[in-house]
Structure 1
Amino acid sequence: MSAKLLSPYTVKNVTLKNRIVMSPMCQYSCPEEDGIVQNWHRTHYTSRAVGQVGLIIVEATAVTAQGRISPNDLGIWSDDHVQGLRELVNLMKEHGSKTGIKLAHAGRKSEVKEEIIAPSSIAFNEKYKTPREMTKQDIEETIKAFQIGAIRAKNAGFDIIELHGAHGYLINEFLSPLSNKRTDEYGGSSENRYRFLKEVIISVKEVWDGPLFVRISAHDYQEDGMTAEKYTEMAKWMKEDGVDLIDVSSGAVVPASIRPYPGYQVPLSETIKHGARIHTGAVGLITTGVQAEEILQNDRADLVFIGRELLRNPYWARTAAQEVRGEVEGPIQYHRAW
């Protein structure tokens, strides 16, 4: 039986050469207030493309300056950012990787000096500033910023867009009842809490016809918080609204005690995949090719998102292929050692 990990995967008009995805991971490497691609990004991402990763998703990239996680985040809030992102895309594509970008707004977890905004005026913890509750105008402007970010991502040449709806950032803050205490049409019921993401999806799809992923935190690890079962309902709505795949992570919308173990988030992916009948990506302490292959062969996810292991080893795809007795084609310059 051939390794599913090394098989192609097609979503809409985009075909990945294998099912290995580099999970988006912040690099915090831009000069303060700049947000422009640096040589670090060119080296970091291109080396994983040389290593034959099927899809590389660039880190959380802020759709507004106010929405950065840190002052050193990549940005897409200005046309000035497009040229650097386009150069980065071209470098990755030279080596056969498909390219994605994660459009993000940090909400109440932003660490910028300026005023920050969120669905409700509740600080994440005592170390974070208290955000201002978003007005209807703030909501409309932020949805528009995601749309304009998608236009810029398209102009930069990305193959896939992922919306950051996880880890306690703005979209996640709307989705969870632990961080969303609004009493208007954006709070209360699950339908209302989903409304902001729904409007972001619709707005992005007006200008983007490529594959659209959403990353979610499928478990809040707190009483009365979100679970994979609760997210299954929202996943059905995402599918109806045109989302192609859900990247299933967990946690970080509120401070919580999490005890991670290898593959600890995979059951969340499995629940949502089969409950909502939507494609999913599994992420979280997936460290070996054998582990990744088990996830795919048992239909627990459609893609595997690799984080820390790809920080440790840019050629993880080759290592994983050897473990599952398969092959990935290396760059010709490395054939004597590949």
Structure 2
Amino acid sequence: MAFTKHFLVIFVFLAIFNICNGQGLKLGFYKKTCPSVEAIVQKETARIISAAPTLAAPLLRMHFHDCFVRGCDGSVLLNATNNNPAEKDSIPNQSIRGFESIDRVKSVVEKQCPGVVSCADILALVARDATLLLKGPFWKVPLGRRDGRVSNSTEALFNLPPPFFNITQLKASFASKGLNTKDLVVLSGSHTIGTSHCSSFSSRLYNFTGVGDTDPALDSNYVTNLRRKCSPTDTTTLVEMDPGSFKTFDEGYYAQVAKRRGLFTSDSALLADRKTNAYVRLQATSKGSTFFKDFAKSMVKMGKIDVLTGNQGEIRRTCAFVN
């Protein structure tokens, strides 16, 4: 009993620390040192997304994956070193694209304001701007993050919630980062844009419990449709996460989940909890959706997880390497 109480105290402390640690961030952080940074990032991101609209989802996902491992410190951007595979080499990150886009934006910012703006801040801004360019919400991004110097593939594997997590595991994963159940269901809505490889969900279609069965949580017509696209061993085909509007940030994801057409186990899991289920159905049917407002709020909250500020970390000259 004493051990359990001690564990709970530590868990609550860490959750509070995750949130409070973001207090070193502020709006207009670069007002004097690089006043045009947001305009520069917005302009360059627009060029990137205009040429490749499907990069918006990976860039948003990259920010999420960065924040869930060591906090929002740009560690997901670092390349591996001798004897140390980096986060980007970990299985959950091997499908992420767009690292060269962050490098491109950083390069433009460096020309204007050398050694001033962190890669972590640039990633947070790019994620916001890419979302907005796909008709998603706008949110003000508090800045002042510093870049971390450590990136480890094993940490990514153990900190990022995989697509096969159930609702209990998802809630625990988010809680460990200071995010609550509402943040979980709101941030899951980012699956309204982007695609996924068949291999991330094919077990739900062909071998859910190891006896050649299908996940009963999936709509049978949806299963038939997905089987037409994905064979049991397909590792290359991409499937839209929000069919019909995967290039538009909207509430369509929740309508799909409500119809039992969430692509991942983690999507379907949102129907297994009273609070997340209620939110899914509200956004799927409500004409006055709160999703955009909620998403903006949760993104700001997520962007403050375990940030490095002040004299911590560094301002990397190039995002893939420590100085």
- Structure whose residues are more often helix by fraction: 2
Relative contact order higher in (CA < 8 Å, ≥ 6 apart): 2
Fold shared, TM-score > 0.5 on shorter chain: no
TM range (shorter): under 0.3
* TM-score after normalising by structure 1: 0.24
